[in-house]
């Protein structure tokens, strides 16, 4: 059993998928988000979407960092994580404007004071103001803040987005086909619209990253930060404290709490200027580099043999955990969190959009017709095959 499973989480969410397998798949069964008929406007040429996501257990890292340093600004990143995990999912079906957002913040009031709530809420509005300058209009409708200490050990920061969008501007992934190439856009570095280095960690796999990177000090000082029913052999088994420098030159906290990059400025340009070049869009979130396999419109062999070198944060996690590449590439994005399926002739055009914004981009793989769904992934000198 993997460390991830021993900690009570699943990269592939098998049980969730089984629980929802009988639900309506929506108008576009291969789209990254579920899309429905326009119940709000009753227009056959439009669709409705409502989508929920959040910062996940990354909020626990922010809690630990705040307790260690007293720095409230760390919660700004958690606000961004919760928003971007929703927004970038919607971007992957082509939606980027006139979006409604409602936040849901559950806290243990005994441990999470009001000034943390204020920081998260104000940071959310500030991010919406920044996104507006890139053509992304999100209307903040407030939401629910609940004091549920019997349910939540520290704090959970989530949100829901809703939108109405024309059908002729939807990316449903049904155009992915034999001969397509996959353009990957780096999750790390510093894009021109970012003010700091981004480690690329995003908001997925943070349960493992937290326990693998941080040491027993945290279980001893902050038992509220983890499930005390877990076997001690998987709890805070790493070598670092959050304020400690790693070989990368950054502290463990800077790497693990790096806010999730939004690809909104990039995708707004691509979707408005070269929409027809996009055959499919995948947000490599939960499931990492295997995420694309869930959204293929048929049996295809996906080969990813030109991936980015993993950013330092992933090498540190791998070394600390002893995890193999098969698990790492299922749990983490490992270097790119956005991929666009396109024709070979359009690939360089899309890469140029990324380069203009300071985002490294390249062809990372290709699509071939096959009798079955299969992912072949090259990690360094190792070839990993995933069967579906």
Flag whether 158 is in a domain: yes
Q: Is there a domain that residue 282 lies in?
A: yes
* 231 lies in some domain: no
> In this structure, are residues 286 and 88 in contact, taking their beta carbons and an 8 Å threshold?
no
241, part of any domain: no
Q: What are phi and psi of 277, to 5 degrees?
A: -75, -15
Domain assignment present for 81: yes
What lies within 8 Å, CB to CB, of 118 at 6+ separation is none
Residue 233 within any structural domain of the chain = no
**Residue 255 pLDDT exceeds 90:** yes
pLDDT digit string (tens) for 53-86? 999 999 999 999 999 999 999 999 999 999 999 9
Residue 14: pLDDT above 70?
Answer: no
Instruction: Classify residue 249: in a domain, yes or no.
Output: no
pLDDT tens-place string over residues 35-49: 999 999 999 999 999
CA 306 centroid distance within chain: 21
Specify whether the CB–CB gap between 132 and 191 falls below 8 A. no
Assigned domain for 213 exists:
no
Tell how far CA 154 is from the center of its chain.
22
The answer to whether 287 touches 95, Cβ cutoff 8 Å, is no
Helices (H) and strands (E) in the chain, counts: 12, 12
- Distance separating alpha carbons of residues 19 and 113, to the nearest angstrom: 36
Cα torsion 177, 327, 9, 102: sign: negative
Which CATH number does the domain housing residue 134 bear? 3.30.1330.10
Residue 7 has pLDDT above 80, yes or no: no
Total tally of structural domains belonging to the chain: 1
Residues 187-210: tens digit of each pLDDT? 999 999 999 999 999 999 999 999
E strands in 193-290: 280-283
Which is nearest to 127 in space by CA: 90, 185, 84?
84
The 10 Å Cβ neighbour count of residue 221 is 12
The confidence band for 21, taking pLDDT boundaries of 50, 70 and 90, is confident
Structural domain boundaries, residue 97: 3-202+257-387
Picking from 2, 126, 9, 127, the residue whose alpha carbon sits closest to that of residue 60 is: 9
Helix (H) or strand (E) run with residue 366 in it: strand 361-369
d(CA 39, CA 165): 12
Prediction pTM value:
0.94
């Amino acid at each position: 059993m993997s460390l991830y499973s021993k900690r009570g989480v699943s990269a592939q969410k098998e049980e969730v998928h089984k629980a929802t397998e009988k639900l309506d798949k929506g108008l576009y069964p291969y789209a990254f988000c579920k899309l429905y008929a326009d119940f709000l406007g009753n227009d056959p040429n439009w669709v409705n979407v409502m989508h929920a996501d959040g910062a996940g257990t990354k909020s626990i890292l922010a809690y630990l960092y705040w307790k260690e340093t007293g720095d409230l600004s760390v919660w700004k990143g958690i606000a961004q994580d919760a928003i971007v995990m929703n927004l970038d999912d919607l971007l992957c079906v082509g939606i980027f404007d006139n979006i409604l957002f409602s936040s849901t913040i559950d806290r243990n009031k005994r441990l999470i004071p009001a000034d943390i709530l204020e920081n998260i809420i104000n940071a959310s509005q500030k991010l919406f103001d920044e996104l507006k300058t890139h053509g992304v209009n999100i209307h903040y409708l407030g939401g629910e803040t609940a004091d549920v200490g019997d349910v939540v050990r520290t704090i959970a920061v989530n949100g829901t987005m809703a939108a109405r969008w024309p059908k002729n501007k939807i990316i449903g992934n049904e155009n992915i086909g034999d001969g397509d190439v996959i353009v990957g856009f780096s999750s790390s570095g510093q894009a021109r619209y970012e003010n700091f280095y981004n480690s690329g960690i995003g908001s997925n796999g943070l349960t493992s990253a937290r326990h693998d990177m941080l040491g027993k000090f945290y279980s001893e000082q902050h038992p509220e930060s983890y499930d005390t029913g877990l076997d001690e052999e998987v709890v805070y088994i790493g070598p670092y404290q959050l304020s400690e420098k790693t070989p990368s030159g950054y502290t463990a906290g800077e790497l693990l709490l790096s806010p999730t990059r939004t690809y909104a400025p990039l995708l707004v340009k691509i979707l408005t200027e070269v929409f027809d070049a996009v055959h499919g869009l995948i947000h490599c979130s939960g499931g990492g580099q295997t995420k694309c396999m869930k959204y293929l419109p048929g049996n295809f062999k996906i080969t990813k043999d030109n991936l980015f070198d993993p950013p330092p944060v992933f090498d540190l996690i791998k070394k600390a955990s002893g995890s193999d590449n098969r698990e790492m590439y299922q749990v983490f994005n490992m270097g790119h969190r956005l991929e666009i399926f396109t024709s070979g002739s359009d690939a360089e055009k899309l890469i140029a959009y990324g380069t203009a914004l300071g985002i490294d981009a390249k062809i990372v793989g290709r699509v071939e017709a096959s009798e079955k769904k299969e992912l072949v992934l090259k990690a360094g000198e190792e070839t990993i095959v995933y069967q579906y």
